[in-house]
Amino acid sequence: MSLESAVERAFPARAPKSAPLSPARVDEQVLSITETRPPLSWYAAFAVAGSVMTMGFAMIGYTVYRGIGVWGNNVPVGWAFDITNFVFWVGIGADAHFGDIFLPAALAQRHRPLRGGHDAIRRHVRRHLPLIHTGRPWLAAFWLFPIPTSAAWGQFLLALFGTCSPFRLLHGVGAFLVRGAVARLASLRDRARAARAVIFSILSLGWTGSARHWVHYEKAYMILAGLATPLVLSVHSVVSFDFATSVLPGWHSTIFPPYFVVGAIFSGFAMVVTVLVIVRWAMKLDNLITMNHLDVMNKVILTTGLIVGLAYFTEFFIGWYSQALYEQEMFRLRMFGPYGWAFWVMFSCNVLVPQIFWFRAMRRSVPVMFAVAILVNVGMWFERFVIITPTLAQDFLPSSWGMFIPTIFDIGILLGSFGLFFTLILVFARVLPVISTTEVKMDLPGAQPHRTPSHHPPLPPLPRGEGAAAGGGGD
């Protein structure tokens, strides 16, 4: 079964017309990228992203040295950009889980090429954020990550504690090591010479591709998938509990878990589209990442955007319907208070802008989708900001109300987190295969000799459980 035929089965009318693929061609097209010199534009992009990242790290370094007073946080507003960034990046990262669970299976198979390294990168970006936001990160690192020592058992009533729990970390590492990467690295090793060969030999953990290896691989994949499935929903639900467990009007809300999960899918897809459009264009992968993929992803953005809008509406409706003074005031201030502008930025970007995807032509226009994806990312960052900062700025006692005004360090670290993300993406794109070649090859003709199309139903559910494991990461 060729790739084309698979796509044709999923989307009969819209199968791309391109040259037929073979396993060797996939390898050549994808793996050779890592073996050639990057173009000049890559260096330019790397210079920009790397500089921004370095600036971000320098600012983090200064923050650790001097104290988080260099940020704009204060006493009503204990959390601002720090936790906004954290939740934003967790949301971005969590999409890797959803991508595989919730997409139509045919797309999932095609989506597989898209995953691989991004989630690992995001995990790095987002893990450092909750750590540096603390007043004493060295102690926080010691007590919260990876194992709470007996010297300081944490507060088990708190979801935040679960966010940092060791199981998730170990799981994340294990999943990343086992999943796909090993086989892909082995493919690279097989093509490489000299030092590269040594490095990839080590990284591929002695993978030979023997049937026995594949059996173990599939088994491990199954187990991790089983472990990971609840994580898929829990990652952002747990993050949302971090807020919902409080007593603050605006945080203390039962809508938060689904609201956060949908928001995460929404922002995750937007970020994937952003990156994918660039990768697809820069590496000429139009035949592997087709317009149909992008179209479907844009539909997901539209759908989740509508759900996010519904969540906003529900929140506000319940705030009004509760007849609770503090709830009502909170939502009034959220819209018309001193941070009202942030609310309207969020609302426009997340609810209004994606409506353009009702039009097929817009869904299939690369510039439009790129712009929408960027705006959705902006909107989702503001969503987290709107939830966190204005809620704290104006809570119960008017006497303690106070504004948060970001400093250059707040802004620098926010930019730095994007710098880190894009730097790692750029490095990843040149060093590791951007597309999971082994998994693409599984779907190519002859890859699964014992699985004829009759055993392999075209649409969900997937026969193997690995899709669920694909997210794989803790946070």
| Segment interacting with another protein (CB under 8 A) among 72-80, 192-200, 210-218, 464-472 | 72-80
Tell me which residues in 143-172 interact with another protein (CB under 8 A).
Answer: 143-144, 152-155, 157-158, 160-161, 164
Nearest approach in angstroms of CB 33 to another protein is 42
Name which of 85 and 204 has its Cβ closer to another protein: 85
Is the torsion defined by CA of 161, 166, 168, 169 positive or negative? positive
- Shortest CA distance to 462 belongs to which of 5, 188, 102, 196? 102
Asked if 401 interacts with another protein (CB under 8 A), we say yes
Asked if 408 interacts with another protein (CB under 8 A), we say no
403, 427, 431, 442: residue in contact with another protein (rule CB under 8 A): 403
Asked if 74 interacts with another protein (CB under 8 A), we say yes
User: Which residues, including other chains, have CB under 8 Å from residue 342's CB and lie 6 or more apart?
Assistant: 382, 385, 386, 389, 390
Tokens 């997340």, residue located: 350
Distances (CA, A) of 338 to 116, 297, 344, 393: 42, 35, 12, 9
Nearest approach in angstroms of CB 11 to another protein is 47
Upstream peptide bond of 461 is cis (omega within 30 degrees of 0): yes
Asked if 100 interacts with another protein (CB under 8 A), we say no
- Shortest CA distance to 172 belongs to which of 475, 470, 473? 473
The site string for another protein over 75-94 (x = CB under 8 A, - otherwise) reads xxxxx---------------
* Straight-line distance from the first to the last Cα atom of the chain, in angstroms, rounded to the nearest whole number: 37
Asked if 5 interacts with another protein (CB under 8 A), we say no
Nearest approach in angstroms of CB 124 to another protein is 21
Asked if 309 interacts with another protein (CB under 8 A), we say no
Tell me which residues in 47-66 interact with another protein (CB under 8 A).
Answer: 66
Asked if 247 interacts with another protein (CB under 8 A), we say yes
Check: CB of residue 390 under 8 Å from CB of residue 342.
yes
329, 410, 439, 443: residue in contact with another protein (rule CB under 8 A): 329
C-alpha 432 chain-centroid distance: 18
Asked if 96 interacts with another protein (CB under 8 A), we say no
Nearest approach in angstroms of CB 240 to another protein is 14
Check: CB of residue 424 under 8 Å from CB of residue 416.
no
User: Which residues, including other chains, have CB under 8 Å from residue 109's CB and lie 6 or more apart?
Assistant: 6, 439, 443, 462
How many residues in the shown chain lie near another protein by CB under 8 A? 48
- Shortest CA distance to 394 belongs to which of 384, 402, 386, 406? 402
Asked if 139 interacts with another protein (CB under 8 A), we say yes
20, 39, 61, 67: residue in contact with another protein (rule CB under 8 A): 67
Interface with another protein by CB under 8 A: which residues?
66-69, 72-79, 133-137, 139-140, 143-144, 152-155, 157-158, 160-161, 164, 245-248, 325-326, 329, 392, 395-403, 405
